Amino acid sequence: MGSRADINVEDVVARKRAHRQACIPQEWLLSESTVKQYAAHPIQIFNSRLVEQVLTPRDLEITNTNEDATDLVEHIHSGRISCLETVLAFCKRAAIAHQLTNCLSEIIFDSALSRARELDQVPASQRKPLHGLPVTVKDSFFIKGYDSSIGIAALCDRPAQTNSMIVQVLEDLGAVIIAKTTVPQTMLTADTDSVVFGRTVNAYSGSMGAAGSTGGEGALIAMGGSALGFGTDGAGSVRMPAFVNGIVGVRPSGYHFTVDGQPILGRGVCGTTQLGPTTVAGPLTRSVRDAQLVFRLFWQARLWERDPMLLPSPWFNLSLPSRLRIGVWADHDHVHPLPPVARAFRLAQQRLAAAGPHIELLPFVGPSIATVWSLQKEFCQLLDLRYLKGLVAMEGATEIVRRTGILYPPESTTKSQMSVLEQLHDLNFQIMALVRGMGKAWNAHGQPLDAVLWIPAPHPAVPFDEYTDLTFTALFNVIDWPAIVFPTGDFADSKLDASTDGPVAEEDLFGDEDRRVQSLYFGHEESFDGLPLSVQLIGRRGQDEKLLAIASKVHDIIKAR
């Protein structure tokens, strides 16, 4: 199709959506009335007998979300379940998830089932660690023979010629990739909506966003349609979909997981240069121990020997200190947490405090975060976005792309009089100030902390096109520290939350963004009921294995029982 300057966007979109629909077997389609019945709360279909329109009791047993990928691998290796019945069950459940949340971009069920049949013939002695495990990846990762359109019409019908390294390692470990998942147009937003594939909705509420840019992955795993997934995180793109959908998501330290094998959208944008905050690849999982499994296996694969951009990342099987020192970052200067988020954070602290002498909670007074998101956006705007803007111009920008203000900064944005080189120096100076401030706070109690507990955002999932400030996750891309989000097991409850937290007084608001976030909730409290709540745990740069070990222990304590 040449330069694609003359593409008919409507034709491309119609063809792409029709092909996707045709990849779902007719017998796996829910009735129209069932789709309509569960559109408001997709995940609730699994509490209904109507799910048996597609899933057998055996399918439900295999895809049960009370078990994780670690369990599934053990069941497959023991012979309790076959690769074929496992992959088939997950393909069917992914089809259900897609019909209710619009989470899949490329459906690979047929080839996945063929691979599962082959894997069942492999002798037990030759089986790999993830043998037969059904997994998914974000649309941006190359899979040979399939598009990586990232929801842009001009990038459709350009199947990848090779696998990305993440995909290749997953397959080398024995995993079976069953689908690619939706991302927002440009991947530079926190709400998954595109011209090509449409909007992906939250697993818990069809009127709330799935976040982004790994939004399809977040919704799918929450719905039980994948055992684990991979995304990328440039400002929270793994962690935001994880927390709004109630699953686990990890942002590793930079240069430990390869991002090789994705569309290059401009110098410094999924490209080969790195002039500012790091974009990383990371897993979305059902449990913290699944994240540990992924890190261990990938690091044991010695990816740094294949990708010259990576740092060596040996897995040490670390032992934790007998007494963990965890900082609690309760106060900051950007946006007051909404009542459900504040309650979940308090409950997490209370449960840790009650866990006994092996955990010590200490106040953490971090640096100002008021300019973090604007700093991140300034870096993005210094990158070469001309190619990406040209692609979007052919089809028109989605509302969330316009509102986020990266591709199209507000006209009121003051143009710097500094050269680009001077701006880069200035922005990196600001990053170093944040790093120094975090380091000072980390060591403020005489001995270094082991981790810091924080919120992943001041809100749970929000209505469409409203997730436009990424400060609480972007901070750790800016300073390149690892972070993990995981659910507390608590859910938004307007009646319960009204009894403990009320509106913030006008004079106490930090500014316009704080006022905007408060207005999303107050007056609409009941629309947030039932949304999952999470916390974020932070580690020091390069201490990913330690962070995951702490997270495993902490999550076991704080998750509501």
The domains located in the chain, with CATH, are 9-305 (3.90.1300.10), 324-558 (3.90.1300.10)
Residue-level pLDDT at 346: 98
313 assigned to active site = no
253 assigned to active site = no
Residue-level pLDDT at 1: 38
Specify the range with the lowest mean pLDDT, choosing from 168-182, 268-282, 327-341: 268-282
pLDDT digits (tens, 9 = 90+) for 373-431: 999 999 888 877 889 999 999 999 999 999 999 999 887 565 677 888 898 899 999 99
Distance CA 394, CA 2 (A): 14
pLDDT, averaged across the chain: 95
Q: Is the per-residue pLDDT at 119 higher than 90?
A: yes
Band of residue 265 on the pLDDT scale cut at 50, 70, 90? confident
Specify the range with the lowest mean pLDDT, choosing from 125-134, 161-170, 379-388: 379-388
Band of residue 270 on the pLDDT scale cut at 50, 70, 90? very low
Q: Is the per-residue pLDDT at 497 higher than 70?
A: yes
Band of residue 561 on the pLDDT scale cut at 50, 70, 90? low
Q: How long, in residues, is the chain? A: 561
Structure tokens at 430: 């600001």
Task: Give the percent of the chain with pLDDT over 90.
Answer: 90
213 assigned to active site = yes
Distance CA 381, CA 427 (A): 12
Contact 237, 293 (CB under 8 A): no
Q: Which of 278, 305, 16, 34 is nearest to 169 (CA)?
A: 305
Q: Is the per-residue pLDDT at 343 higher than 80?
A: yes
Contact 471, 271 (CB under 8 A): no
Residue-level pLDDT at 272: 45
Residue-wise over 313-352: b if at least 16 C-beta within 10 A, else e? beeeeeeeeeebbbbbbbebebbbbbbbbbbbbebbbebb
Alpha helices, DSSP H, located in 330-453: 339-353, 372-382, 386-393, 399-404, 420-442
Structure tokens at 165: 């390294």
Residue-level pLDDT at 419: 86
Sheet holding 248-251, edge to edge: 104-107, 176-181, 134-138, 228-233, 280-285, 248-251, 483-491, 532-538, 451-454, 324-328, 359-363
Which listed residue (148, 205, 237, 534) is catalytic? 237
The packing angle between helices 471-478 and 372-382, to 10°, is 60
- The mean per-residue pLDDT over the stretch 14-19 comes to 98
Q: Is the per-residue pLDDT at 2 higher than 90?
A: no
Q: Which of 182, 184, 207, 180 is nearest to 194 (CA)?
A: 184
Residue-level pLDDT at 380: 86
Residue-level pLDDT at 5: 65
Residue-level pLDDT at 362: 99
Contact 205, 245 (CB under 8 A): no
Distance CA 45, CA 38 (A): 6
Residue-level pLDDT at 427: 92
Contact 246, 224 (CB under 8 A): no
Residue-level pLDDT at 560: 67
Which listed residue (92, 138, 377, 553) is catalytic? 138
The one-letter amino acid at 32 = E
Residue-level pLDDT at 410: 82
- The mean per-residue pLDDT over the stretch 9-29 comes to 98
Which listed residue (213, 226, 287, 313) is catalytic? 213
Q: Is the per-residue pLDDT at 273 higher than 60?
A: no
